[in-house]
Amino acid sequence: MLKEVQGGVCAAKGFTANGVHCGIRKNKTKRDLALIVSEVKASAAATYTQNLVKGAPLTVTKNNISDGYARAIICNSGNANTCNANGVEIAEQTCALLAKELGISSKDVVVASTGVIGQPLDITPIANGIPALVAGLGDHSDYACEGIMTTDTVLKEIAFEFEVNGTLCRIGGIAKGSGMIHPNMATMLVFVTTDCKISPATLQKALSEDIKDSFNMVSVDGDTSTNDMVTVLANGMAGNTEIIEEGEALDAFKEALAAVTKYLCRKIAGDGEGATKLLECKVCGAKDTATAKTVAKSVICSSLLKSAMFGSDANWGRVLCAIGYSGAEVDVNKVGVCFRSQKGSVVVCENGAGVEFSEEKAKEVLGEKEIEILITLGDGDGKAVAWGCDLTYDYVKINGDYRT
């Protein structure tokens, strides 16, 4: 029983947020420093990129929340603070400066950065920006969301109300996506807040399970970022009995968490760098879930299919090709493919071979902003969904000259 509500990361009780322009970016109209604060200590869980090259902030955050709790999240955009000689030092200074301003321990700060890799991050604009950042704290999830954006073109925020054993709780999240999106056991930047009371260990378990079906099934360009991070803060202010084990209460929480993460997945994929279309690949009939995931991910990652979708070209041979090289165990003679959008469905392949279809109808279906690629494998009941976007001129344009 989920109900969408307003407020993003400030929807849950006891959370405030803000975002300011502190000067890391040259463009003065773009906020580049974001903050989320909980009135009380919150259970904290996080997952991080599996890239061997890890942003310095991830190291500091991991250490800070090793006790399972946090109070604040600070994140800058414009510089990833990665592959810098003094990255950890700068991230720690950021925590210390914020902690002092808020009157909390620096060990209760989650710190994150996103932007260019390998350029020294100056602490000065951050130090200068923190007082205004803290002073302006309020119901400003949108400011915080803007503060973590890079080449994102739309705000990505959402919140839901749900019930745990009769107690009303809220959960909300913001995300930054765009390019370098191909998460592996973690993802882009996602910050989720909830007033649901849940123990740190249970929260971490719920998050780690959730990302396998949410952020790990998104791909914009096959590049796994060095700074991927998903963090959830749960401050317990809703007043429910603390969730510490499996059961109905945890199921309700997981459902709400999944609603937030899957919404953000779709937003991240649809707003991939240069994207004009959201692609959703739904696989069913696989011999198991792992097979379905491998197939869905392979199709969503194919540059050839992504280009064809940009051109509204029903080139289903590329779907078959991507299934074939996915590494999954599939009987290609049983594969069926159907393209679907709000304009209707077109079956293009059955039993591994082409079927006649109307090119006109296909163009109409593929001309929409949200395209479903429905694949049936005929081998069992495994299923999976993956999200991606089309490949466009603008992806190349944005990334041909990102640093300047």
Per CB under 8 A, the segment of 2-10, 14-22, 372-380, 396-404 that binds a copy of itself is 396-404
Does residue 179 interact with a copy of itself by CB under 8 A?
Answer: yes
| Complex with a copy of itself: residue 121 or 243, whichever CB lies closer | 121
- Under the criterion CB under 8 A, does residue 225 sit at the interface with a copy of itself? yes
| Interface with a copy of itself (CB under 8 A), residue from 224, 231, 240, 291 | 224
Q: Which of residues 120-139 bind a copy of itself (CB under 8 A)?
A: 120
Q: Does 380 bind a copy of itself (CB under 8 A)?
A: no
Count each helix (H run) and each strand (E run) in the chain, helices first.
11, 15
Q: Where are the beta strands (DSSP E) in 276-381?
A: 278-286, 336-341, 344-350, 353-354, 370-376
Contact 346, 313 (CB under 8 A): no
6 binds a copy of itself (CB under 8 A): no
Residue 250: which of 265, 237, 262, 234 has the closest Cα?
234
CA distance 226 to 54: 5
Main-chain dihedrals φ then ψ at residue 38, nearest 5 degrees: -105, 140
Cβ 184 to a copy of itself shortest distance, Å: 7
Beta strands across the sheet bearing 370-376? 353-354, 344-350, 336-341, 370-376, 278-286, 382-389
Residues 342-361 that bind a copy of itself (CB under 8 A): 349, 352-354
Q: Tell me which residues in 82-101 interact with a copy of itself (CB under 8 A).
A: 82-85
The answer to the question of residue 48 lying near a copy of itself (CB under 8 A) is no
| Nearest Cα residue to 323 out of 293, 350, 364 | 293
Residue 46 to residues 182, 230, 302, Cα–Cα distance (Å) = 18, 5, 29
Phi then psi for residue 22, to 5 deg, are -105, -15
Report angle CA 33, 37, 43 to the nearest 5 degrees.
125
Q: Does residue 378 bind a copy of itself (CB under 8 A)? A: no
Tell me the window of 68-76, 77-85, 279-287, 376-384 that interacts with a copy of itself (CB under 8 A): 77-85
Site for a copy of itself contains 321 (CB under 8 A): yes
Pick the stretch among 155-163, 215-223, 229-237, 368-376 that binds a copy of itself (CB under 8 A). Answer: 215-223
Helices of type H across 156-235: 200-213
Which residues partner with 138 through β-bridges?
A: 17
Nearer to a copy of itself, 42 or 349 (CB): 349
Half-sphere exposure (CA, 13 Å, Cβ side) for 269? 33
Amino acid at 307: S
Question: Which of 143, 310, 339, 387: binder of a copy of itself (CB under 8 A)?
Answer: 310
Q: In whole angstroms, how close is the CB of 118 to a copy of itself at the nearest point?
A: 4
Minimum CB separation of residue 80 from a copy of itself in Å reads 7
Which of 27, 52, 166, 360 binds a copy of itself (CB under 8 A)? It is 52
Which 8-state DSSP code applies to residue 160?
Answer: E
Catalytic residue from among 47, 114, 187, 193: 187
Q: Which stretch binds a copy of itself (CB under 8 A): 11-19, 105-113, 222-230, 252-260?
A: 222-230
Q: Which of 121, 174, 137 is nearest to 7 (CA)?
A: 174
Is residue 276 close enough to count as binding a copy of itself by CB under 8 A? no
Determine which residue in the list 221, 271, 280, 372 makes contact with a copy of itself, applying CB under 8 A: 221
**Cα 11 from Cα 375, distance rounded (Å):** 37
Smallest distance from the beta carbon of 261 to a copy of itself, in angstroms?
21
Structure tokens at 93: 């200074």
Q: Which is nearer to a copy of itself, 254 or 334 (CB)?
A: 334
Instruction: Decide if 224 is catalytic.
Output: no
Q: How far is the CB of 247 from a copy of itself (least distance, A)?
A: 37
| Alpha helix segments (H runs only) across 15-174 | 56-64, 87-102, 123-135, 141-147
Q: Is 324 in the site for a copy of itself (CB under 8 A)?
A: yes
Relative to beta strand 370-376, strand 336-341 is antiparallel
Q: Is 26 in the site for a copy of itself (CB under 8 A)?
A: no
> Which are the catalytic amino acids?
187
* Chain contacts with a copy of itself (rule: CB under 8 A): 50-54, 80, 82-85, 116-120, 179-180, 182, 184, 221-226, 301-304, 307-308, 310-311, 313, 315-318, 320-325, 330, 332, 349, 352-354, 391-393, 395-404
